[in-house]
Structure 1
Amino acid sequence: MDKTRALKASVAISPNALRGLPAGRKTLTVTYFSNWDKTEVVIEFREYGSDAKVLTEIISGIISIRIKVNESTYPVPLDFQLKTKKSNTSMSSTVMKETYCSFWDEKTSTFSTSGLSKVKEDDSSISCHSEHTTSFAILLQVTELPTQISHNDYKILDMLTNILSCVSISALLITIGIFMMFRTLRTAERNIIHTNLAVSLLAAQVLFLIGVDLSGNKLTCTIIALTLHYLYLAVFGWMLVEGLDLFYKIVKVYGSEQNRLPIYLGIGWGIPIPIVIVSAGIRFNSYTAISSCWLNMTNGVIWAFAGPACIVILINSVLLVIIGRIIYRSSSAVNNMNNTTGLRASLRGVLILTPLLGSTWIFGLLAIGDAAVIFQYLFVIFSSLQGFFIFMIYCLF
């Protein structure tokens, strides 16, 4: 029999981690508890809306690790492995589960994941890395989804997001490369706006793919969420600039030659800064969701993004209607008042401009109720492919 398989817990500390400790008598104390007797502990992680039913249970024993030099306790980085048990919670197609490395925070009397990351997981055990020494356990979060979106749908949506975002990133790189290659394109005000929108969206999508799941270290995860918050606000800022500039070019022809670029730069890159700073200042310790480096959806932080996004979508939707009417009238006049031709031209113009001005993000707001699955798929497809649509509009049309 392999003795390591019978172990319920193991700890590994690098000699380099101990060299930084002060001189003195060093002692290592490791205690293992089969059960957690703090029955008052209630843990709830809500990520899928306030209607989600969430249960978090401990699926391992508790391992307590203390390193002392003389009589003082010192934190050191270490790796530990805990044997896990199967959950008693029945799983269905509308239930999602996630395991977490956690420690007991004596200051808050609750479990926390700060400073911990999951290294390896199999059917019977989970290995974790910690930046400190304390009491550790493995938690299982079971979430009953509040909508008709099944676990399989979430997996498909996640796969679509990754694949389509890669397509979008490639298209944005080509778009930016084309604008940078030719001086006449690089210096035109309209193309400068296009380039800034492409750059902000490219940075947001790359960071989203790389960092949104790096939730092991709370500080790192919060920094990623802050950066994503800023970048996506910048995307909406530049989409607003696209709408305003198009409005001035088409509707307000007189005076459209004025240099508005400093104002546009302030809207695109400047306005998101105070929004992120204020929201982070108010909710820094609870800024992110528990298992992703994005805004917390249960304590109001998400509205620091959703609020400005809704305002931009509303403004651009109004501008889209006005621009569509102008295209319709102009096309009808050119074609001797042929209403059919004017309507076709107007619809074509609106369809082309819709992804450019961010109107497709409305699908995300409509993803509730019985039609949630349909709108979730539409939202993922159109939002993930926004960079590809930008390439099509800027470089091919």
Structure 2
Amino acid sequence: MTQLSNCSETSCIQNLLNQIENITVLPLAVNDVKNLLDLAINTSEKISISSSSDPNKLKSEGNQVLKASEKLVSMLVKPTNTYDNVSFTRDSVKAQVFMVGPQVTLNEIPRLNTTNASVDIDLIGIVKNNNETAAVAFMSYTTMENLLKAEFFNTSDITSVKTMMSTVISATLPKTTNKQLTKPVNFTLKHIREFVSGGNMSCVYLNITEWIVDGCSVLDTNSSYTVCSCVHLSTFALIMQTSSTATEADPLMDVLNLVAVSVGLVFNSLALLTFAFCRWKPGVNNVARINLCISLLSAHLLFLLTQHFLKLIKPDQMLCNVLSRFLHFLFLSCFVWMFIEAVLLYICVKNLSQISSRQRAVLSNRFLIVIGYVIALVTVGVSVGLVPEGYGSDKCWIEVHKSFIWSFLGPVCVILAINTILFIRIIISLNSTLTKLNAEVSRMKQTKIMVFKTLAQFVVLGCPWILGFFTEDNKMMEILFLILNSQQGTFIFLIYCLLNNEVRQQYVKGLKAFFPGLKTIKSALQRK
């Protein structure tokens, strides 16, 4: 086994598989089965990378690995008078073996389970046809789809896109003479990828060189799992067919997304630099804006990098899950800080002055930071605890099955509704103030500036995210949604940095400090 662990050639893996076929020890120790299975599957996976462009080699490798795996698991079957079971979990395969003896008193066999699949089989009925002894072996392969690809599904629609929606599973009756089933076998297969609306699900089994549906049918399906019924045992999988046009990426939207998000990130960074190096009047609270910029910058940058390197990230499911949870936290933090900014703006407009000392005590920096991040952290923590499998979709984002997407949309909808109400109240308050200040021209001018900034706050407070509910099948709405919501950092920079007289004066002072001769050059130009 030590020598075989360094296999790097096809002849080596063939030697390993042949040796497994010739094993005669009965029964085999569980640890030996584990080690040999890992060796066979992992070594075959390495070799399959070099032959990934040759379907025939992949099919041959896959069939040999399946045959060797079933042989190894069958070696776990041992005599029993009542019943016994053996199960184990490895990175590449999960297996469970259930054995029944002549003195069994069970009325029915418990459901056999792995992480992503389960099987219901009438083993009691099979026992009666086998002199009261029988065994069933159930295996779930986590990486077998790399060898037995969904493209091997034999279907008349050659233009459809085929996607493996479940782990590859195998069910056999080892050491059982009469393998005839008394009832159809039902498999419950959990979806390992996001279901595409309009996709056609097929329960298939492996017929040496191709996936076919003969003898298998779909009993029930939803966005998270599918129940298959088959009249025979074999190697099974769940494959989804979708229209090729439905899965094609839109190059224009990809480029627009890259450009828009990149521009937003640049101005977001400029806003953060301004907040960091410019001095502000005492009492002006920029905590919400700074943390909103940090959350927006982190969320958009991580999302952009994740999507750009998705092909490298997706094979590592653990990394994909971690990134999707972190993105969930960051985007929720963005919306909580939008809510805090809306509340602070509303208080400021109501008073038309600095926030009172009592209000400032309640809205201290520490208190705001706790609200801004703890709410998002608790929401993600509860989501992970209740539905840990809800993360890690094909885009390394939240799964939509079981309505889990509402763990994000729920808080977002609440915050958007509150922010919209606050925004309307701000407009009403400002309109009332303008009416009372007709005679005070200078004060009215300041208030008009506040009105302009408040209108720009419509974007900063995240209100355009509402457009997301109307983007389906509407390209113009989708583009508008993308542009507005990727530029929140840009609007923050415009409102609180570029249009702020105090900040502009500090910009000028900074330029004079870097260019001492700028004033002399300006005077010389004016004289000319």
In structure 2, the partner of 1:374 is 476
**Is the 1:328–1:346 Cα contact (8 Å) retained in structure 2?**
no
What is the rounded CA distance, in whole Å, between the counterparts of 1:203 and 1:314 in structure 2?
24
Q: Secondary structure at the match of 1:190?
A: coil
> Which has the larger displacement, 272-281 or 229-238?
272-281
**Is the 1:169–1:202 Cα contact (8 Å) retained in structure 2?**
yes
In structure 2, the partner of 1:311 is 414
Identity %: 23
Which amino acid letter does the alignment assign opposite residue 168 of structure 2?
A: W
Of the three residues 291, 295, 302, the one matched with 1:196 is: 291
Could you tell me how far 1:356 is from its partner in structure 2?
0.7
Q: Secondary structure at the match of 2:402?
A: coil
In structure 2, the partner of 1:119 is none
What is the rounded CA distance, in whole Å, between the counterparts of 1:247 and 1:110 in structure 2?
51
Q: Name the TM-score, length of structure 1 as normaliser.
A: 0.65
Which amino acid letter does the alignment assign opposite residue 363 of structure 1?
A: L
Q: Secondary structure at the match of 1:251?
A: helix
In structure 2, the partner of 1:278 is 382
- Does the alignment pair 1:330 with 2:433? yes
In structure 2, the partner of 1:41 is none
Could you tell me how far 1:255 is from its partner in structure 2?
5.2
In structure 2, the partner of 1:170 is 266
CA deviation string 1:353-380 (max 9, x = no partner): 1111010101002234xx6333222212
Q: Secondary structure at the match of 1:271?
A: helix
The gaps in structure 2 that reach 5 residues or longer are 1-9, 14-30, 42-57, 77-87, 93-142, 172-186, 194-233, 500-528
Q: Name the TM-score, length of structure 2 as normaliser.
A: 0.50
**Which protein has greater RCO, CA pairs closer than 8 Å, 6+ apart?**
1
Which amino acid letter does the alignment assign opposite residue 268 of structure 2?
A: L
In structure 1, the partner of 2:403 is 300
**Is the 2:258–2:304 Cα contact (8 Å) retained in structure 1?**
yes
CA deviation string 1:106-159 (max 9, x = no partner): 697537759xxxxxxxxxxxxxxxxxxxx99998754459xxx97667443333
Could you tell me how far 1:85 is from its partner in structure 2?
5.3
Of the three residues 322, 325, 348, the one matched with 1:249 is: 348
In structure 2, the partner of 1:210 is 305
What is the rounded CA distance, in whole Å, between the counterparts of 1:270 and 1:101 in structure 2?
35
What is the rounded CA distance, in whole Å, between the counterparts of 2:494 and 2:381 in structure 1?
35
In structure 1, the partner of 2:189 is 110
Which amino acid letter does the alignment assign opposite residue 269 of structure 2?
A: L
Alignment CA distance shift 1:298-1:81 (3 Å): closer
CA deviation string 1:301-359 (max 9, x = no partner): 11111111111111111111111122223334444499x99997686344311111010
Q: Secondary structure at the match of 2:286?
A: helix
Q: Secondary structure at the match of 2:432?
A: helix
Of the three residues 321, 327, 340, the one matched with 2:424 is: 321
**Is the 2:162–2:240 Cα contact (8 Å) retained in structure 1?**
yes
Could you tell me how far 1:289 is from its partner in structure 2?
5.7
Which amino acid letter does the alignment assign opposite residue 304 of structure 1?
A: S
In structure 2, the partner of 1:352 is 456
Question: Which has the higher Rg, Structure 1 or Structure 2?
Answer: 2
**Is the 2:465–2:485 Cα contact (8 Å) retained in structure 1?**
yes
**Is the 1:329–1:342 Cα contact (8 Å) retained in structure 2?**
no
Could you tell me how far 1:101 is from its partner in structure 2?
9.6
The gaps in structure 1 that reach 5 residues or longer are 1-9, 14-21, 31-59, 115-134
Q: CA RMSD in A?
A: 4.4
Name the count of aligned residue pairs.
320
What is the rounded CA distance, in whole Å, between the counterparts of 1:292 and 1:11 in structure 2?
38
In structure 2, the partner of 1:19 is none
Could you tell me how far 1:391 is from its partner in structure 2?
2.2
**Is the 2:321–2:392 Cα contact (8 Å) retained in structure 1?**
no
Alignment CA distance shift 1:142-1:154 (3 Å): farther
Could you tell me how far 1:232 is from its partner in structure 2?
0.7
CA deviation string 1:48-78 (max 9, x = no partner): xxxxxxxxxxxx8455366879x78995789
CA deviation string 1:6-64 (max 9, x = no partner): xxxx7999xxxxxxxx999968657xxxxxxxxxxxxxxxxxxxxxxxxxxxxx84553
> Which has the larger displacement, 101-110 or 381-390?
101-110
